Amino acid sequence: MKISTDIGVWIGALAALGIYSVLIKDNPFYRFVEHVFVGASAGIAVVVGVNTFKSTAWSPMTVEGDYLLIIPMIAGLLLYTRYFPNIAWLNRIPLSFLMGTSAGVAMRGAIESQIVGQVSATMINLNSIDAWIVFIGTVTSLSYFFLTWKTGKVTGVTSKLGRYFMMAAFGAAFGNTVMGRVSAAIGRFQFILNTWLGL
Amino acid sequence: MFAKRTLPTIIAFICGVTVVFAYFINVPFIQDRAQSILRWQAVIAVFALGLGAVNIIRVHVSNIQRSKGQNFYSLALLITFAITILVGVFLGQNSTAYKFIFDYINVPTGSAIFSLLAFYIGTAAYRAFRAKNVEAAILLLTGCIVMLGRVPLGAKILPVSVPLTDWIMSVLNVGGQRGVMIAGAIGFIAVSLRIIVGLERRSYGGE
């Protein structure tokens, strides 16, 4: 047994132990580690944001002379008017820009990858039993979401079959999630036992 | 009234429609405007991120003030937050100090928090997984098979679990997930359309 002398390994191991200590009950050690983690993560997000600002706005404006970028910068500053009640409504302008653009981008993505991509992947190559099962699973699962009319004999059967397919998918997703989390826990235990304690 | 209610709706409409049209119509003018809008959005999003940072500071400074300096956790959060920003901005993301914070504080703690769910999900499954009807039985069965098929020990206990897991993941799972995904996308498009045409003004602070 050769305990690590690396200060970073000690911090990492103590942080992991602090997080796992909540499994016994909520305690000051856990709360301290949790707050430090939130501080570090938020700090990292801000650093990434500052660098993104430099590369997407500041440098193109000052180096390449793209002075129109002053408009989104002013719009971005308007977001902070929410702290001043008299002019708080001004933050609706950048927010509407963000929401409208995000909705447009999301719509494009949903149409392209989630509808056209999925439908075409389901419909082509129906040349095996498995492909037909996928096809039936997709159609029956979709029929479960038809809520605009009352369920009849046929739609009752298809939506029931769709529910079975969805349950199988949820079970598989659950199994995968469990295994993903367990492998992360094993990784942490290996770090504590091998890297830190040298066992 | 125009600036408070109508102008934000017009902005959301123009931005949304331009970005969507640029995907379907290959007109250079629209493509260029959409590119500019997306670029501007990235800039405004950075300021929105700063808003989050300001909120964190406000909440935790207020915690400290209310507890008359006794809130040690908020103080620890603010100190870590300030150090990370100072190190990242002034020394750079490739500096040893920044990498130290990332590799020895952020990654191990994040990974431990991520793996914490393994314990909770296990106890939750023990209580929730009851084969009371066909749906619950299917959920239980596929979950157990996938869990067994994903570990070497499971393959030893039940060798058939490995090919069965592959089949569940590539056939049953795909069939069920695709239906959910397509239905979700249709709902997503409906909500996006409501935002673009101004029926969902609450999302940007309207009534």
Chain B residue with CA closest to A116: the answer is B182
In chain A, the number of structural domains is 1
pTM more than 0.90? no
* Chain A residue with minimum CA distance to B178: A138
- Kindly state whether A132 is in contact with chain B, defined as any CB-CB distance less than 8 angstroms: no
Domain contains A140: yes
- Domain contains A129: yes
Q: What's the CA dihedral at B127, B133, B139, B140 to 10 degrees? A: 50
CB contact under 8 A, B178 and A134: yes
**Distance between B69 CA and the closest CA of chain A, angstroms:** 16
Q: Which long-range contacts (CB under 8 A, 24 or more apart) does B93-99 make?
A: B93/A47, B93/A51, B98/A47
Q: What is the pLDDT of residues A50-90, one digit of tens each?
A: 999 999 999 999 998 889 999 999 999 999 999 998 998 89
Residue A92, chain B, CB below 8 Å: the answer is: yes
- Give the pLDDT confidence score for residue A65 in this predicted structure: 87
pLDDT given for residue B207 in this prediction: 58
Q: Do the beta carbons of residue B115 and residue A184 sit within 8 Å?
A: yes
Residue B93: which of A36, A9, A52, A63 has the closest Cα?
Answer: A52
Percentage, residues of chain A above pLDDT 90:
60
Q: Which residues of B touch A83 (CB under 8 A)?
A: 54
Cβ atoms of B13 and B198 within 8 Å: the answer is: yes
A40: in domain: no
Mutate one of A26, A47, A193 to test the B interface: name it (highest B CB count within 10 A).
Answer: A47
Residue A138 lies in a domain: yes
How many other CB atoms are found less than 10 A from the CB of residue A79? 21
- The residue of chain B nearest to residue A97, with distances taken between CA atoms, is B12
Confirm whether A8 is domain-assigned: no
Does residue A99 lie within any of the structural domains? no
Quick check: B92 contacting A, CB < 8 Å? Answer: no
Q: How far is the CA of A138 from the CAs of A142, A145, A199, B3, in angstroms?
A: 6, 11, 50, 46
- Chain B residues with beta carbon closer than 8 angstroms to that of A79: 44, 47-48, 51
Q: What is the ipTM of this complex?
A: 0.84
pLDDT at B69: 64
pLDDT the model gives residue B56: 94
Return the C-alpha torsion angle B151, B116, B54, A101, nearest 10.
30
> Which residues between 22 and 51 in chain A have a beta carbon less than 8 angstroms from any beta carbon of chain B?
22-23, 31-47, 49-51
Q: Answer yes or no: do B178 and A141 touch at CB < 8 A.
A: yes
Q: Which residue of A has its CA nearest to B44?
A: A76
Name residues of chain B where pLDDT drops below 70. Answer: 69-70, 205-207
Residue A81 lies in a domain: no
What chain A residue is nearest to B111 in terms of C-alpha separation? Answer: A184
Q: Do A98 and B76 touch (CB under 8 A)?
A: no
Residue A118 lies in a domain: no
Residue ranges making up the domain that contains A132 = 125-191
- Give the tens place of pLDDT for each residue, A92-107: 999 999 999 999 999 9
Please give the Cα distance from A54 to B88 (Å, whole number).
13
Please tell me the distance from the alpha carbon of residue A100 to that of residue A95, in angstroms, as a whole number: 8
Q: What integer pLDDT is reported at residue A16 of this predicted model?
A: 92
Residue A46 near residue B122, CB atoms below 8 Å: no
For the segment A106-151, what is each residue's pLDDT rounded down to a tens digit? 998 888 888 888 888 888 778 889 999 999 999 999 998 887 777 7
Q: Inform me whether the C-beta atom of residue B190 falls under 8 Å from chain A C-beta atoms.
A: no
Contacts of A65 (CB under 8 A, 6+ apart): none
Give which of A190, A18, A13, A35 is closest to B116, Cα–Cα. A18
Cβ distance of B171 and A43 shorter than 8 Å: no
Instruction: Give me B20's structure tokens.
Output: 């969507």
Choose among B19, B100, B144: nearest Cβ to A108: B19
